[in-house]
Amino acid sequence: MSSHLAEILKQKKQAWLNYREMSRFEIENWNNKVRELYEQIKEWLRGFENDGLLRFKDECAPAIETEVKYCFTIEWFNGQTIEFEPVLNIVGAYGRVDMQLGLHKVMIILKEKNGSWIFAERYNREEPTIYEFNQENFEQIVTDFVEGF
């Protein structure tokens, strides 16, 4: 085997290992952001959990090779659910968490790695409606869902 080929293979292997390490770091960072988001939502709803009106269910699902997907569900007293599923590396943003409320889906988007979360809803093929991710807006979305029970 030629030393030139061996050198190229060693360089390619090192580049590949570096890429995997960086990917692992990005996935860990994303998972931390998602867990922080879920903790914020739990904090907003903690009183309802204490009253027995809902419960939180966290689950880790393996995704691709080095990724773990942290899904989260709010289960209401009557079995209705709000499900949260994270999606990393989307076009135009760092990542998003899809919030499924029955047939209604709201996206919680992290535009930049160290940015703030926003809500986005798509009603048609036009640009999505975007609004601030905060307790007031979250509670309004949940209230609209609960009124439909």
| Top-confidence residue, 126 or 147 | 147
pTM for the whole thing?
Answer: 0.81
| Top-confidence residue, 29 or 75 | 75
Residue 65 binned pLDDT confidence (cut-offs 50, 70, 90): low
Distance CA 125, CA 59 (A): 32
φ, ψ dihedrals at 16, nearest 5°: -65, -45
Distance CA 88, CA 99 (A): 14
Query: Looking at residue 64, what is its pLDDT?
Result: 58
Q: Is the pLDDT of residue 129 over 80?
A: yes
DSSP state of 43: H
Residue 147 binned pLDDT confidence (cut-offs 50, 70, 90): very high
Domain ranges of the chain: 3-147
Task: Write b or e for each residue in 92-123: b if 16 or more Cβ atoms lie within 10 A of its Cβ, otherwise e.
Answer: ebbbbbebebeeeebbbbbeeeeeebbbbeee
